[in-house]
Chains A and B, each alone.
Chain A
Amino acid sequence: MARIVGGLGTSHVPSIGAALDKGLRDTPEWKPFFDGYLPAREWVREHRPDVAVVVFNDHYNALFLDRVPTFAVGCAPEYHPVDEGWGPRPIPPFEGATEFAWHLLDSLVENRFDPEIIQEIKVDHGLQVPMELFWGRPSGSWPVRVVPIFVNVLQYPIPLPARLYELGQALGRAIESYDSDERFVVLGTGGLSHQLQGARAGFLNREADQRFLTEIAEEPGKLAGWSRQRYIDTFGGEGAEVIMWLVMRGALNPEVVVRHRHYFAPASMTGAGMIVMENA
């Protein structure tokens, strides 16, 4: 059966991609941020995952308000970068792991999750940036195939944190019941604290971010029990999207080992967190 080799968490701030595009990687502003990911890149090279399930949200680049799926699973053969206003970014398209995606849909529905099924879609920085941070930008094709899970974290009502944790548990069962010897990683993306609009714009909560990085490993059930309002209060209006990490964490065992962890603030306007965990 397929195996989960790790759970990866990271912020997906668009300015990170823009910094790479503009060649700012080694500037004083960005170098400490990117250097913090070097051990995680090494971990990915060692563990050679075949498939990355990426839990993220579209930021109204590929999806509009006319149809808002709460959960959606991508079953497409490939995912091209979307034009977010500056033209599509110059990175290779992502190859989809279509067979697993359909297995995941079967398995989720049998476990009473009913996501939208997406056959053709482009992907924005929410997926691109985490892939570039953990794998580096490849000169040819990406060395891993992806299955995107889209979560609505912008149009209220957004799903409950507890529901996302349960979705992760169902995802974990789907991977472990998949007849294959492929190696999987699950990526939870978004956050940590930031707020981009309203008079509280620029809100950051470094202490809460650091605590989150500890508790996502040690006490995920506690974080799953928080209300949405508490996430907004603690992490900011846009930072509440960090609930998507709960899907990744739910896919892992209750006991995990933290291999790497990094925090840098602010990346643009965001407290940027990273974690690499393995099942204990």
Chain B
Amino acid sequence: MEEMEEMEEPDRIPDTPLLDRPRQLRGYRLNKMAMGLGDPANRAAFRTDEPAYLDRYGLTEEEKAAVLARDWREMVRLGGNLFFILKISAVDPIRITEIGAHQAGMDHESFLRDRLGKKE
């Protein structure tokens, strides 16, 4: 797929994924699936049978594996945008700072201290 090849290009600003054309195209299905979680009936379907819910949106095996594993870094690599995939945390709670730490490749405590400057 053309868009798959484009995704191999580095982001124009290091370590800063923007929702540009290749990401938008690559992530469309994944983002549409997550957008669906704004509807309570879809949240119930996601809770009841997550793989079946993901299949409804035609996710690839790679995309499904990333969602099922709650692999936030991988979801973003596959074109997922945070404002969509954050809705997964409404069904399966996790703090946004934990999602951030995961993407930065840091443990939560170090992330809060070193990136956000929180004391404790």
Residues of A within 8 A of B (CB): 15, 59-61, 64-65, 82-87, 154-156, 195-204, 206, 229, 232-233, 236-238, 265-266, 268-269
Contact = CB atoms under 8 A, between A and B. Distances in A.
A195 B103 CA distance: 11
B116 to A, nearest CB: 5
Q: From DSSP, what is the main secondary structure of chain A's interface residues? A: loop
Contacts of A269: 96-97, 100, 116
Among the interface residues B20, B35, B38, B91, which one has the most CB atoms of the partner chain A within 10 A? B38
Contact of A86 (B17, B35, B83, B90): B90
Contacts of A83: 38-40
A82 B90 CA distance: 14
Contacts of A200: 14-16, 104
Given A60-B84, A85-B87, A156 B15 contact: no
A199 B15 contact: yes
Contacts of A237: 13, 16-18
A195 B90 CA distance: 20
Interface residues of B, number: 44
Interface of B: 11-21, 24, 28, 31-32, 35, 37-40, 43, 76, 81-84, 86-87, 89-91, 96-97, 99-101, 103-105, 111, 115-118
Contact of A232 (B13, B39, B99, B115): B13
A65 to B, nearest CB: 6
Contacts of B115: 201-204
Contacts of A61: 38
Given A85-B43, A268-B96, A64 B32 contact: yes
A198 B22 CA distance: 16
Nearest to A13: B96
A58 to B, nearest CB: 9
B104 A60 contact: no
Closest 7 CB pairs of A and B: A85-B90, A202-B115, A199-B15, A85-B87, A200-B15, A201-B100, A156-B20
A108 to B, nearest CB: 26
13 contacts: A60-B81, A83-B38, A83-B39, A84-B38, A85-B37, A85-B89, A197-B81, A198-B11, A201-B101, A201-B104, A204-B115, A237-B17, A269-B97
Contacts of A15: 96
B116 A156 contact: no
B78 to A, nearest CB: 12
B117 A198 contact: no
Contact of B83 (A154, A198, A201): A154
Contacts of B21: 156
Nearest to B91: A85
Contacts of A201: 99-101, 103-104, 115
Given A65-B28, A232-B16, A60 B103 contact: no
